[in-house]
Every structure is written in C-alpha cells, then in structure tokens.
Amino acid sequence: MIEEKLQKAISKSLREMYGIEVESEKILLQGTKKEFAGDITLVVFPYVKAARKSPEAVGGEIGEWLQKNVEEVSEYNVVKGFLNLTIADRYWTDFVAAITGNGTYGLKQAAEGAAPVVIEYSSPNTNKPLHLGHIRNNLLGWSVSRLLAVGGHNVKKVNLVNDRGIHICKSMLAWQRYGNGETPETSGMKGDHLVGKYYVEFDKHYKEEVAAMVAEGMEEEKAKKESPLMKEAQAMLKKWEEGDKEVRTLWETMNGWVYAGFDETYNRLGIAFDKVYHESETYLLGKELVQKGLEKGVFFRKEDGSVWIDLAADGLDQKLLLRSDGTSVYMTQDLGTALLRHEDFGAERLIYVVGNEQDYHFKVLKIVLSKLGFPWAEKVYHLSYGMVELPNGKMKSREGTVVDADDLIDQMEQTAKEMSEAHGKNDELSEAERTHLYHILALGALKYFILKVDPTKNMLFNPAESIDFNGNTGPFIQYTHARIRSIVRRGGEQTERNGEWAGIALQEKEREVVKLLHTMPTVIEQASEAMSPAQVANYAYDLAKAFNSFYQDTPILREPNTEVRSFRIALCDTVATALRNTMDILGIEVPERM
C-alpha cells in the first residue's frame, strides 16, 4: 500500500536531510482534508525542532524530496505545518486493476490452528419472546462475529439460554393457574409468545396481591416478599432444583414451546450459533465452584446460609453467590459457564455481548474467576452496549410493553413493500422475487439502522426513518448496489483491462471513489480491533454516497473512450463487491436488481 512506501521514504528523507532517525511505522499519515488539494497528509511539526527550520520550510523540503524520489508522488503543497501529497493517477488505476475481480479484497482469514475467540450473544430468557432489545444484542453479536472473522480471527459463536430461575417459574405458575391447558397449537400463537403472555399474567396478578396487602396496612416492600403468588413461585424454583418430576415435566414442555419460537425468529433474522449452552446444564458446575471457593476461604457464608464474596478490597461491595435456600443466582451459573467454555474451546478471548446495565456484573465475574485461581480470567471481555428505545419510550417485559421481534419484522416487511411499490422499484420482478426483496429490504433497514450506531451509545429506533431509500440507511446502500449491478450487466465484458488504463486521467469524483476503496482494508482492520460494526456501516454509506455522486456527474456506459469506459465499468464492479462484502459483515443481503 502507498502509505507504507511513503512512511519508509519520509523516514529516509528525514535521515538524509536533517539527521533525524524515525522508525517508518511511527510516521503518522492521514487523509487530506477536502478543502485542500492532495490525497495524503504528513504533519511536519514533530520534526521542526530537530530540523531547526520553520514548518513551511520543512514541509516544502520533504515534499520536494518525495516528488524526486517516489514516482507515485506527482504534486505537493504545504499549508502551515501540513504537507499534502497528491498521488499520481497511475497508482490509482493500477490499484483498481489489481483488485478487480478479487471477491475477498480487504478480508482476512484466520491462521490455521489459531485459538478461537468465543463470542456469546442473544442469551434470552425462556419466559418471553425476543424483543427489540434482543434484536440489538443479536445483530451486534452476529456482526461482531463476522467482523472478527474477516479480521483474521477464528471465531466461535455461542448462545447461553437462561432456561431456569424465578422468572421461568413465574410463567410456569401463571400457566398452571390461568392457562386452562392452552398450547401453541390450540391458541395459534408462537410458543415463545404464548409463554410470554403468562409471564405478563403473573405480574398482573402479583401486583393485584401486593396492592391488596398494602391496602390492608402492610408496608409495600414486605407485601412484595409476603405475596402468596411470589412465595409459590419461589417454592416452585426450589422444587425444580430438587428435581421434582411434575415441575420438571412442565418446564420441559413450556421451554420446548419457546425454543421452537426462538428458532423461527433466529431464522428470520439470519442468526446462528456454533454451540448453545443452557443455564440448567451449567449452574451445577457453578455451585461446585462456589463450594470450592468456600473451602479456600474466597467466599463466606452468612448466618442465613447464603454465600457471598467480599470485594471491598477491590473497590466493590459484597456479592451474592448462593441464596439462603441454596438456589443459585446469575453469577453462579456464569462462573460455571465460563469454566465450561474455557474447557471446550481453550479460547484466546471470551467475549460477552451484554447490555451496559450489566457492567458491574461482568466486572465482578472477572474478579471472582481470578480469585478462584483461573489465570484465563483476564481473557473475559464484556462488550457493553447501550439500550435501544422507541420514540414512545422504554419497554418493559413484565408489563407487556415490549415490541416483539416478530411483530417488528412483520411491520418492517410491510413498510418495505409499500415504499418499494410507491417508488416503482419492483415492476419487473416476479411475485416470489418481490417477496424476497421486501424481506431483505426490511432486514437491511432494521440491521443497518441499529448497527450504524456506535455500540456503546444508547439509541432511538425509528422504523419509518430506517427504511427510507435516501440518506444513511440500509435500503439506500442496497439500492446503490442494485444500480451498480445493472450498470455492470449492461457493460457486458468491457471490464477486462487491456493495458491502457495507465494513461487515464481520473475525474475528481472518480478519484474519490477509488480512494475510498483503497481505505477499505484499514477500515475493516480498525473496526475489527474496536469490535464496532458502526465503522463498517458508515464506511459502506460513504462509499455508496461517493459512488452516486460519481454516477451523477460522470458518464460510464456512454463514455466514448473505450479504455476509460472499461475502467469505469471495472470500478463499478469493484464498488459493488466492496458494498456486498461490507454489508455482509453487518448480516445484510444486497439485491442484484430492484
């Protein structure tokens, strides 16, 4: 790449002209600002003192040296302490020639035998369907997995299903009391939706009980603990942990309904996993670790029988590991799951994609694993992300105010259909092609709108804005890809280089597209290191926007010069590949035609 060649040349120029020794990789280059002429900029201020000359003089002398000694540097200019270098058109046309037809440009492969990076995402509870919050988690987890994979890592995608606990028992108890034997088949509801219905039902009756007890003079906090319904749910959890046959049978039945519903939603989202763990299979290992921690003096038992760890020396507080009745908490099973996952994979890193409300939990998990004597505790990494809200506010599962993932996808597909028909973008497609188009446009809109936001930030999801065919949206990029593929199809076999591209003079907007293509490997590498799909999403938008500007101002198929025409068609083909690959990292399919 030209940047490496320039770094070495600048290092040599500094040594020859000023006796300054600077390692080439420490020389920082950046893209030239749009208001100035040039492609690549060197900040010369770090070398001014040693050179004993003004910034303008140092910039001018380095620029002159580079123009004489580096054939790719055609011009230069100095603005105060900034040396702006113009790279010759020949370099850019040779670059396009080199990547034309390369379907994996910018993408790396994992080294054979490399230790895997294990990334956990989704992690749903089996007491409710997947909702909008889960969608951000799933899309982020899937996309980061792809990003790490194309960044050269061996990636294993895992899911931990929280299939036991008090919240599961609430749904089970409510179904027993109020369900009258209702099933997915008799109700016509997806299984996860049906179970979620009874989770809401439990909360409704629980609140009624608490309100009645408060009305009779009991303190609210005491009423919550003394609620007969809550006590019955807690007793059911204890029975489950003791292996009660009746409770276990009901649990297996209702969880089976939920799993079938989850799988359907995962398929619609294009989400998959290499391995699925279940809390019901890992919490016992966690309890064993707690017992070992007690024996080692890492944990302590309170008078009520509950087990804790004191993290005051680590700047934290006390953390519960086992309740007084012996039942486990999330931390218990996370200890067991982490150990099992380490034994399964021998991972380079254990990444958990979990919302930022769990920052404290994962800080504690890492410390506890370390205190238990596991040296790989340092490999645990919490990929913390912000919450997603709708224009009408936050969602609450217990109150039934969530936006179900299935309902949202249905709504998005209907909106995609209406907007596509209004724009006349599907007139030449068959009915089956239209249905598929509406689906990928809907998912493209949904995924892109969520993933273009930095993972650490909270976000507001607006379905109407997400599916616009203009602006920074998935459908805009998808439509750009379809437009490019149409150009390439009509261009036929004119994409082959015949040796004359070296003499082509690039137009300004054409040059901008090529320069953006040139940065793609760096963008992907940096995004992979940061685990930020947002960087890739916004790069894809910049590339699509630059292409459309080029397309509007520059003749392609109507270009009379055959060499220029063949170059521009090849450039179009390469941009389409770049858009397809970057959108694939986001889990988004791009259509061949619209």
User: Would you list the DSSP string of 239-304?
Assistant: HHHTT-HHHHHHHHHHHHHHHHHHHHHHHHHT---SEEEEHHHHHHHHHHHHHHHHHHTSSEE-TT
pLDDT of the residue at 384: 96
pLDDT of the residue at 398: 42
Return d(Cα 487, Cα 576) in angstroms, integer. 10
Confidence check: pLDDT of 200 > 70 = yes
pLDDT of the residue at 425: 64
| Burial bucket for residue 357 (CB in 10 Å: 0-12, 13-18, 19+) | exposed
pLDDT of the residue at 493: 59
Residue 116 lies in a domain: no
Determine phi and psi for 393, rounding to 5 degrees. 115, -170
* pLDDT, average across residues 401-428: 81
pLDDT digits (tens, 9 = 90+) for 514-541: 999 999 999 999 999 999 999 999 999 9
Return d(Cα 355, Cα 388) in angstroms, integer. 10
pLDDT of the residue at 392: 63
Residues 260 and 312 both lie in one domain: yes
pLDDT of the residue at 77: 96
> Which residue among 331, 355, 389 closes a domain?
389
Residue 592 lies in a domain: no
Residue 107 lies in a domain: no
What are the strands of the beta sheet with 29-31, ordered from one edge? 29-31, 40-43, 82-87, 73-79
Residues 44 and 132 both lie in one domain: no
Residues 415 and 353 both lie in one domain: no
Residues 376 and 410 both lie in one domain: no
> Which residue among 87, 105, 140 closes a domain?
87
26: DSSP letter: G
Confidence check: pLDDT of 553 > 50 = yes
Residues 444 and 381 both lie in one domain: no
Kindly indicate the confidence band of residue 374, based on its pLDDT and cuts at 50, 70 and 90: very high
Residues 458 and 342 both lie in one domain: no
**Per the structure, how many domains does the chain have?**
3
Closest CA to 482 of 579, 581, 588, 587: 579
pLDDT digits (tens, 9 = 90+) for 61-108: 999 999 999 999 999 999 999 999 999 999 999 999 999 999 999 999
Residue 22 lies in a domain: yes
Question: Are 390 and 403 a contacting pair, CB within 8 Å?
Answer: yes
Confidence check: pLDDT of 120 > 60 = yes
Residues 223 and 343 both lie in one domain: yes
Determine phi and psi for 525, rounding to 5 degrees. -65, -45
Confidence check: pLDDT of 135 > 60 = yes
Instruction: State whether the Cα torsion 508-512-518-519 is positive or negative.
Output: positive
Question: Are 501 and 96 a contacting pair, CB within 8 Å?
Answer: yes
Residues 379 and 409 both lie in one domain: no
**Host domain of residue 17:** 2-87
Confidence check: pLDDT of 390 > 50 = yes
Confidence check: pLDDT of 397 > 50 = no
Return d(Cα 442, Cα 464) in angstroms, integer. 11
Q: How many residues does the chain have?
A: 594
Kindly indicate the confidence band of residue 41, based on its pLDDT and cuts at 50, 70 and 90: very high
Q: Which amino acid is at 390?
A: L
Kindly indicate the confidence band of residue 471, based on its pLDDT and cuts at 50, 70 and 90: confident
Kindly indicate the confidence band of residue 400, based on its pLDDT and cuts at 50, 70 and 90: very low
Tokens of 231: 């006590």
Confidence check: pLDDT of 257 > 60 = yes
Beta bridge partners of 85: 40, 76
Return d(Cα 372, Cα 385) in angstroms, integer. 28
Closest CA to 501 of 458, 562, 542, 447: 562
Return d(Cα 99, Cα 513) in angstroms, integer. 14
Residue 306 lies in a domain: yes
Residues 353 and 256 both lie in one domain: yes
> Which residue among 336, 364, 389 closes a domain?
389
pLDDT digits (tens, 9 = 90+) for 323-356: 998 888 889 999 999 999 999 999 999 999 999 9
pLDDT of the residue at 494: 54
* pLDDT, average across residues 237-255: 95
The b/e string for 143-161 (b: 16+ C-beta within 10 A; e otherwise) is: bbbbbbbbbebbbbbbbbb
Q: Model pTM?
A: 0.90
* pLDDT, average across residues 254-274: 96
What is the distance, to the nearest Å, from the Cα of residue 533 to the centroid of all Cα atoms in its chain?
5
Residue 114 lies in a domain: no
- What's the CATH code of the domain at 330? 3.40.50.620
Residues 337 and 471 both lie in one domain: no
Angstrom distances, CA of residue 61 to CA of 29, 43, 44, 48, 463: 17, 13, 11, 12, 55
On average, the pLDDT of the chain sits at 92
pLDDT of the residue at 396: 45
Residues 348 and 438 both lie in one domain: no
pLDDT of the residue at 151: 95
Beta bridge partners of 78: 83
Confidence check: pLDDT of 449 > 90 = yes
Largest CA distance in the chain: 92
SS (H, E, C) 138-152: HHHHHHHHHHHHHEC
Return d(Cα 434, Cα 426) in angstroms, integer. 7
- Which of 101-110, 119-128, 461-470, 493-502 shows the lowest mean pLDDT across its residues? 493-502
Residue 399 lies in a domain: no
Instruction: Pinpoint the alpha helices (H) of 121-190.
Output: 132-150, 166-178, 184-187
Question: Are 157 and 195 a contacting pair, CB within 8 Å?
Answer: no
Confidence check: pLDDT of 402 > 70 = no
Instruction: Pinpoint the alpha helices (H) of 393-532.
Output: 405-423, 431-451, 463-466, 474-491, 508-530
467: DSSP letter: T
- What's the CATH code of the domain at 52? 3.30.1360.70
Return d(Cα 473, Cα 583) in angstroms, integer. 12
Question: Are 89 and 505 a contacting pair, CB within 8 Å?
Answer: yes
Strands 388-389 and 459-460: parallel
Return d(Cα 247, Cα 333) in angstroms, integer. 20
pLDDT digits (tens, 9 = 90+) for 142-196: 999 999 999 999 999 999 999 988 999 999 999 999 999 999 999 999 999 999 9
Residue 94 lies in a domain: no
- What's the CATH code of the domain at 478? 1.10.730.10
Residues 370 and 460 both lie in one domain: no
Return d(Cα 345, Cα 332) in angstroms, integer. 21
455: DSSP letter: T
